[in-house]
Amino acid sequence: MKSHYSDAPAAEPLARHTLAVIVDNEPGVLARIAGLFSGRGYNIESLTVSETEHEKHLSRITIVTTGTAHVIEQIKAQLGRLVPVHSVNDLTVQGEAVERELALLKVVGKGEQRVEAMRLAQAFGARTLDATLTSFVFELTGGSDEIERFIKMMTACGLVEVSRTGIAAMSRGAEGM
Amino acid sequence: MSETMTGAEMVVRALQDQGVEHIFGYPGGAVLPIYDALFHQERVKHILVRHEQGAVHAAEGYARSSGKVGVVLVTSGPGATNAVTGLTDALMDSIPLVCLTGQVPTHLIGSDAFQEADTVGITRHCTKHNYLVKRIEDLPRILHEAFYVAANGRPGPVVIDIPKDIQFASGTYVRPSNNRHKTYRPQVQGDAEKIRAAIALMAQAKRPVFYTGGGVINSGPQASALLRELVRLTGFPITSTLMGLGAFPASDRQFLGMLGMHGTYEANLAMHGCDLMINVGARFDDRITGRLDAFSPGSRKIHIDIDASSINKNVKVDIGIVGDCAHVLEDMVRVWRSASPQVDKAALKEWWEKIDGWRGRNCLAYRQSKDTIKPQYAVERLYELTKDRDVYVTTEVGQHQMWAAQFFKFEEPNRWMTSGGLGTMGYGLPAAVGVQLAHPKALVVDIAGEASILMNMQEMSTALQYRLPIKVFILNNEYMGMVRQWQELLHGGRYSESYSAALPDFVKLAEAYGGVGIRCDDPAKLDDAIREMIDTPRPVIFDCIVDKTENCFPMIPSGKAHNEMLLNDVAGDIGSVIDEKGKMLV
């Protein structure tokens, strides 16, 4: 099909990239970034944000996104031209970054199910933050895959609620940002 | 240098310190303190528009024709939402604006108060940057910073939303020491290595073409001067986008005319057949490229743009140079001169012969008539009768806009104000108001259509109030002409809602506003009527009755590439040229 507008590009391989974006912690900055992604049709798989340098009012936003090489380049360029953005760092290009997230899981059950939940939690190295006669709240920190596996296991043991932080990431090696 | 004053006074003082002479606005409850502060001074002159959209377009015309930052002042709620179209227009065409909006007091934000709107939320996507001022301490910095952000890098509109309690609050005003933003530092200098590589490609080119855009205009008159120097040094042909007209003189032999959907045959074929494209400050817009997979297939491409995100966005290029046009062009001229390369003269001669062959096709020719005024003829006569004057042209959007771009020859930058990216009908009249304020002695003409002009007709009142002798030159064909053209070509001539029924009598309308109305429907009397318009030192509406069925050619139809453009003489069977997919697109 031909059109004055370009045809949709042929399917190109998608890649997952983790971006660390340093921004001024000013009102609306998160809306600006999230709005850029929705407005231009980019994906967000995970987004975490917190002020990291209080004196300088700097926040670090970690975004996990998926796209073709062309789209990833556009995302970085579009982020880079936002006025409050200091720097855009592609941790995936810099090498396999360290990526961790934290999950809280509430598990409810009795008897054998409860014992199994406890055993699995120990196997995964999860911490028990709260316990009642019929429930646990576990905390697990790890890579996304590990957390996915833990959640899958716990589903069979009476999982009722999950809360996840999304990914915090950092490049390996001696070099700082 | 610091003084204690209210927020409203700070706003006015900051405008003075930024050298602002005119602002365009409309008062309302949430900006009354600022209007009160304006009342007590004379340095900043306020122009009262009749609708907030008009204020923004007027500021755009002012900015684009003068190179200054345009300033707008509107109230909260509807004042701000009415400004949104103008802000989006300025964002698309990279026009530097600072728009001050009033807001309900901070303690009422979020309560759905009277005339409350989430202005920073609404304008986040249609501004380069925006601010909500929550503390009086931040106000002076934000005011100065806004001017820096609007004018530097790729220019654009900046909104400052100021709650009414902040306008009343007292604080310390700080004069601008440097306007800079604490972190925003656009890259203006191009990479020297890439510039050398670009010159090396240019030196070897056999079929080169310069493709230039609005970025050259935005970069300032120096950029246009440097562009002319480089183009003449190299001897290469040059074409321009709609937004870039005037950067290179239209009468020059090296200029091929505008390119794109309604561009010239020679410009589009040169783009299609070139082996090296040098894009200076243009952005590969879809109206320019046509079908992307068939766009200039055999060329290497150099792209100079101050916005890194423009490079490789739509079209993959071989050398992308991030930087300001004037800076990069200066380096290019210097490198070219010092290298004084041996260009392939034989190949270039052959290329020019080919281009002259395309030129010989005379693609803008149209059938003249003794009975009705052809719209092309009207623009041609307007150009001939005004070209020796200090003339500025604005337009609305549609067929008349394309005919103006094709037939009015611009020799200098900043003379041509049109809504390119957003395509905003109703832009031209308020823009003309802004242009006339910036250039009180100049002849300012809004080339309009009878449909577009009605969208911001109310700004005639503004023109009258401030004795701005603007000329509204309406090509009246009683149709939304471009819509009708597409319906003719794509929808079997079913002219759904595109007829301008119940039109006002534009002559009487001009008189009702206190201006002068002129009507002409006879080609033989057109020159005299245009002269009468030019000689009238008051606002004029010229109702030029033109051929109702004329279409705008050349045209790259939907679904086609540059080398498949349609010329006037094949107009009859254009419907069969566009396929099903093409009909879905505009």
Task: Judge whether B436 counts as a catalytic residue.
Answer: no
CB B127 within 8 A of CB B149: no
The mean pLDDT of B168-188, rounded to a whole number, is 87
Convert the pLDDT of each residue in B135-153 to its tens digit: 999 999 999 999 999 999 9
Cβ under 8 Å to A: B residues 518-577: 556-560
Q: How far apart are CA A63 and CA A99, in angstroms?
A: 11
**Token pair for B472:** 């509204």
Average model confidence (pLDDT) across chain B: 95
Q: Is A38 within 8 Å of chain B by CB? A: no
CB B116 within 8 A of CB B132: no
**Given an 8 Å threshold on Cβ–Cβ distance, is A3 in contact with B584?**
yes
Per-residue pLDDT of chain A (177 residues; tens, 9 = 90+): 334 566 677 788 999 999 999 999 988 999 999 999 999 999 999 999 999 999 999 999 999 999 999 999 999 999 999 999 999 999 999 888 999 999 999 999 999 999 999 999 999 999 999 999 999 999 999 999 999 999 999 999 999 999 999 999 999 998 888
Convert the pLDDT of each residue in B111-142 to its tens digit: 999 999 999 999 999 999 999 999 999 999 99
Q: Is B253 within 8 Å of chain A by CB? A: no
Residue among B124, B149, B181 minimizing CB distance to A28 = B124
Convert the pLDDT of each residue in B341-390 to its tens digit: 999 999 999 999 999 999 999 999 999 999 999 999 999 999 999 999 99
Q: Which residue of B has its CA nearest to A58?
A: B183
pLDDT at residue B179 is higher than 90 = no
pLDDT category of residue B580 using cuts at 50, 70 and 90: low
Q: How far apart are CA B368 and CA B378, in angstroms?
A: 11
Q: Is B334 within 8 Å of chain A by CB? A: no
pLDDT category of residue B579 using cuts at 50, 70 and 90: low
Residue among A4, A35, A73 minimizing CB distance to B291 = A4
- Identify from A83, A85, A86, A87 which residue to disrupt to test chain B contact, counting B C-beta atoms within 10 A and taking the largest count: A83
CB B560 within 8 A of CB B548: no
Convert the pLDDT of each residue in B396-432 to its tens digit: 999 999 999 999 999 999 999 999 999 999 999 999 9
Q: How far apart are CA B552 and CA B401, in angstroms?
A: 10
- Identify from B149, B184, B306, B566 which residue to disrupt to test chain A contact, counting A C-beta atoms within 10 A and taking the largest count: B184
**Given an 8 Å threshold on Cβ–Cβ distance, is A7 in contact with B153?**
no
Residue among A4, A28, A70 minimizing CB distance to B558 = A4
Q: Is A80 within 8 Å of chain B by CB? A: yes
Task: Judge whether B52 counts as a catalytic residue.
Answer: yes
CB A80 within 8 A of CB A65: no
Q: Which domains does chain B have, with CATH numbers?
A: 2-174 (3.40.50.970), 192-359 (3.40.50.1220), 375-545 (3.40.50.970)
E strands of B19-93, at which residues? 22-25, 45-48, 70-74
Tokens 């340095």 correspond to what residue? Answer: B43
Task: Judge whether B402 counts as a catalytic residue.
Answer: no
Residues paired with residue A67 on neighbouring β-strands, in sequence order: A15
Strands B391-395 and B443-449: parallel
Whether the link from the prior residue into B554 is cis, omega within 30° of 0, is: yes
**Token pair for A90:** 């592609």
Q: Which domains does chain A have, with CATH numbers?
A: 15-90 (3.30.70.260), 98-170 (3.30.70.1150)
Q: State the catalytic residue, choosing from B16, B39, B41, B114.
A: B114
Angle between helical axes of B481-490 and B399-407 (0-180°, round to 10): 100
Q: Is A57 within 8 Å of chain B by CB? A: no
Q: Which residues of B touch A68 (CB under 8 A)?
A: none
Q: How far apart are CA A109 and CA A113, in angstroms?
A: 6
Residues paired with residue A60 on neighbouring β-strands, in sequence order: A22, A50
Would you state the pLDDT for residue B576?
53
Q: Is B163 within 8 Å of chain A by CB? A: no
Would you state the pLDDT for residue B122?
97
Task: Judge whether B164 counts as a catalytic residue.
Answer: yes
Q: Which value, to the nearest 10 degrees, does the dihedral of the CA atoms of residues A123, A124, A126, A131 take? A: -50
> Other CB atoms closer than 10 Å to residue B243's CB: what's the count?
30
pLDDT category of residue B583 using cuts at 50, 70 and 90: low
Would you state the pLDDT for residue B1?
58
Tokens 């001169």 correspond to what residue? Answer: B337
Would you state the pLDDT for residue B568?
81
Cβ under 8 Å to B: A residues 1-20: 1-7
CA distance B550 to chain A (A): 22
Convert the pLDDT of each residue in B283-333 to its tens digit: 999 999 988 889 999 999 999 999 999 999 999 999 999 999 999 999 999
Would you state the pLDDT for residue B221?
97
Cβ under 8 Å to B: A residues 94-133: none
Q: How far apart are CA B235 and CA B351, in angstroms?
A: 11
Would you state the pLDDT for residue A6?
63
Would you state the pLDDT for residue A2?
39
**Given an 8 Å threshold on Cβ–Cβ distance, is B312 in contact with A80?**
no
Would you state the pLDDT for residue B482?
96
CA distance B449 to chain A (A): 25
Q: Is A37 within 8 Å of chain B by CB? A: no
Percent of chain B with pLDDT over 70: 97
CA distance B482 to chain A (A): 16
Burial annotation B484-522 (CB, 10 A radius, 16+ → b, else e): bbbbbbbeeeeeeebebeeeeebbebbeebebbbbbbee
Assembly ipTM: 0.86
CA distance B457 to chain A (A): 33
CA distance B263 to chain A (A): 15
pLDDT at residue B194 is higher than 50 = yes
Q: How far apart are CA A47 and CA A165, in angstroms?
A: 9
CA distance A4 to chain B (A): 4
Q: State the catalytic residue, choosing from B52, B266, B330, B459.
A: B52
Task: Judge whether B465 counts as a catalytic residue.
Answer: no
Backbone angles phi, psi at A110, to 5 degrees: -130, 165
Q: Which residues of A touch B262 (CB under 8 A)?
A: none
Residue among B181, B290, B580 minimizing CB distance to A83 = B181
Angle between helical axes of B325-339 and B221-234 (0-180°, round to 10): 30
The mean pLDDT of B19-33, rounded to a whole number, is 98
3-state DSSP assignment of residue B518: strand
pLDDT category of residue B200 using cuts at 50, 70 and 90: very high
**Given an 8 Å threshold on Cβ–Cβ distance, is A6 in contact with B293?**
yes
**Token pair for B437:** 């304020």
Residue among B128, B130, B585 minimizing CB distance to A3 = B585
Would you state the pLDDT for residue A3?
47
Convert the pLDDT of each residue in B212-257 to its tens digit: 999 999 999 999 999 999 999 999 999 999 999 999 999 999 999 9
**Given an 8 Å threshold on Cβ–Cβ distance, is B308 in contact with A80?**
yes
**Given an 8 Å threshold on Cβ–Cβ distance, is B292 in contact with A6?**
yes
**Token pair for B513:** 């506003």
Convert the pLDDT of each residue in B483-531 to its tens digit: 999 999 889 999 999 999 999 999 999 999 999 999 999 999 999 999 9
Would you state the pLDDT for residue B313?
95
Would you state the pLDDT for residue A1?
34
Q: Which residue of B has its CA nearest to A69?
A: B312
CA dihedral sign of residues B432, B117, B68, B422: negative
CB B336 within 8 A of CB B234: yes
pLDDT category of residue B181 using cuts at 50, 70 and 90: confident
Q: Which residues of A touch B309 (CB under 8 A)?
A: 74, 77-78, 80-81
